[in-house]
Amino acid sequence: MTGTHVGIAQTVYPLENTIQHYDWGSPTRIHELLGQAPDGLPAAELWLGAHPNAPSVAQVPDGSRAALDALLRSDPQGMLGKRVSDEFGPRLPYLLKVLAADRALSLQVHPKPHLARAGFNRENRLGIPQDAPHRSFHDDQHKPEMLVAISQFEALAGFRNPRNIVSLLAGLQGPLVEAVREELALDRSARGIRAAFQRLIAARSDATCPEQVAATVDSVRARAAAGSPYERADATVLRLATEHPGDPGAIASLLLNRVTLDPGEAVYLPAGEIHAYLSGLGVEIMASSDNVLRAGLTSKHVDEKALFEAASFEPRPPAVPHQELTGSRGQAVTFRPPVREFALTLADVDDVEPVALAAAGPRTVICLDGTVELVTSGSRAKLAHGQSVFVAHDAGAASLEGSGLAVCAWIP
């Protein structure tokens, strides 16, 4: 990264970010973004932020490096601005990620604020170590999140209408499907969906669960071979059953909305929304939290009690965040979900017109393709693809020039 800084105080900080190596990640996509040779490990997420589990490292004027969370605490008003530091304290309230999934993530939900605080404090009182595999709450923050697709992106998000679930299950065999049908026949409201989903998750503890799942998967396979009217839903079940043999989460996918995002499209997942990302490359932004309550499609800890306390079972289509186009040709789109912690601008920068970014507060910018130049009143910094910077509140107004694709996380 190159740039000439003007003035006595640095306000734009080049970042080094942590790659998270989860088993569902792509072995190539994040490495390609960063211009690195693949190392054979699945690179699932690139974290850009100040979460204490993996804070970004900033380059500071004397040539040394500082963890971003510590840097923010050293000057909250200069780095974050008075409004943000007054509301959220001396911390960055969002976490930005590049997510690259080759396999399905766990079927999961994130807690609302009061449940995050209660769960975190409860596990602390019990003396459960922060890094214990059976811990559910890693901090006291809620975790609404939004994903913007960079490639075509596949996901499950929220519950289908009960009538549609019943249609999808028609003709399928096996005791788990029968249990779901039984619950929905009694109650087609959110209560019935909750009861049906609970029957599926509870089956994990039954020694015969793999056989029960296999019976339904076999009938889905037969329906697909005969020319299913539910081709995409059936293909999802078969794929999940291959990736996670014997896991009832494969059947649970039939209860959830199946989502395909084209590049530039987004989905918003409020705290409490059950979801699973299936495949693709996307930019994800969330409240700065690492709280994940899992229901299935995972070898990690499943906390059934906490999950059902946190989850919403209201049937509804996936939420699409509010979008605002800016620029004379609409070359930047800003996604504004209904949360205080974050917004995201996706900028298709060209050499005809600069793209203006949020003018105040902390901002995080990463170049995803091409080369862009971040311009403030006191600096110019070039970003090639994969390079990122933290822009302090004191930098003031900022814009992007050049030719490339970039995203900017900010606080509305």
Asked whether residue 369 is domain-assigned, the answer is yes
Please give the full DSSP string across 219-262, using - where no structure is assigned: HHHHHHHTT-TTHHHHHHHHHHHHHSTT-THHHHGGGEEEEEE-
Close Cβ partners of 70 (under 8 Å, ≥ 6 residues apart): 55
The answer to whether residues 38 and 152 belong to one domain is yes
Domains identified in the chain, total number: 3
The answer to whether residues 48 and 122 belong to one domain is yes
Domain with residue 403: its CATH number is: 2.60.120.10
| Residue owning tokens 């769960």 | 119
pLDDT in tens, 43-85: 999 999 999 999 999 998 788 899 999 999 999 999 999 999 9
Give 26's strand partners. Answer: 43
pLDDT in tens, 363-378: 999 999 999 999 999 8
The answer to whether residues 20 and 123 belong to one domain is yes
Enclosing domain of residue 348: 322-410
The answer to whether residues 41 and 62 belong to one domain is yes
The answer to whether residues 41 and 135 belong to one domain is yes
The answer to whether residues 135 and 268 belong to one domain is yes
Determine the angle formed by the axes of helices 162-169 and 175-186, rounding to 10 degrees: 150
The answer to whether residues 184 and 280 belong to one domain is no
pLDDT at 1: 53
List active site positions: 294
The answer to whether residues 196 and 142 belong to one domain is no
Kindly report the pTM of this predicted structure.
0.94
Determine the angle formed by the axes of helices 190-202 and 175-186, rounding to 10 degrees: 160
The answer to whether residues 24 and 124 belong to one domain is yes
Asked whether residue 314 is domain-assigned, the answer is no
The answer to whether residues 143 and 271 belong to one domain is yes
Q: Round to whole Å and give the CA distance between 105 and 407.
A: 24
The answer to whether residues 94 and 194 belong to one domain is no
Asked whether residue 306 is domain-assigned, the answer is no
Q: Round to whole Å and give the CA distance between 56 and 362.
A: 14
Q: Are 333 and 346 spatial neighbours (Cβ–Cβ below 8 Å)?
A: yes
Q: Are 363 and 391 spatial neighbours (Cβ–Cβ below 8 Å)?
A: yes
For the chain, which residues score pLDDT lower than 70? 1-8
